[in-house]
Amino acid sequence: MPSPKKLDLIPEELRRWLAEELRDRGFADILAVTEALNFRLQEEGLEVRVGKTAVGDFSKALKDQREAFAIAETLLSDMDIEQEGELHKVLMQMIATSAIQMINAVRAKDGHLDPKDLMSLGRMLKDLMSSAGMREKLLADERARIVRETREQAEAEMAEALEVTAKQAGLDNAMLDRLRKGVLGLRS
């Protein structure tokens, strides 16, 4: 099993600081960020020094992740809820395929799955399933809204037609109210 990456050995708080610092600097200025990180590590009394390559790789991963999120947001904003459901299905298939490929690769080497990788896959599946559940709720809410608006429009049209017909027939307001309540179930 390979030794852990140095960035995995630093406290979570410093990893968050590093991510924010890289974002603030536009994922550049790796050397200065690395020096600042190592200074913070020294201040914390930790005997870990992180190299600029590790910080550069971390910066690239963060930048790639941000770009992927931006692309996904653009894709999803142009989709309606039904199309988004199809995308969820494709993403689930991709994650399942990745899991199978990971397991097969480990088997081929007679190795063991890294718990971090399994946790990451599990988290992705959980998040995707949660997102799919929210999408289904949004879809159901949208359908209910359409039904409600259609019903309200039909009721308004019926009430208007009833009123026009009642006035043409010479009915008074009391009779019109009785018709609204009795026939249409509408309130005056």
pLDDT digits (tens, 9 = 90+) for 130-145: 766 776 777 788 889 9
Each residue's pLDDT tens digit, 9-20: 888 899 899 999
CB-CB contact of 88 with 51 (8 Å): no
Taking every pair of Cα atoms in the chain, the longest distance, rounded to a whole number of angstroms, is 95
Report d(CA 49, CA 32) in Å as an integer.
14
The pTM of this model reads 0.44
Look up residue 174 and give its two tokens: 């009391």
Q: Give pLDDT, residue 106.
A: 73
Helix (H, G, I), strand (E, B) or coil at 112: coil
Local confidence pLDDT in tens for the 188 residues of the chain: 567 788 888 888 998 999 999 999 998 899 999 999 999 999 989 888 999 999 998 898 888 888 877 777 776 666 666 666 677 677 777 777 777 777 777 777 777 777 777 777 777 777 767 766 776 777 788 889 999 999 889 888 888 888 888 888 888 888 888 877 877 765 54
Give 139's contacts (C-beta < 8 A, 6+ positions apart).
81, 82, 85
Q: Give pLDDT, residue 76.
A: 61
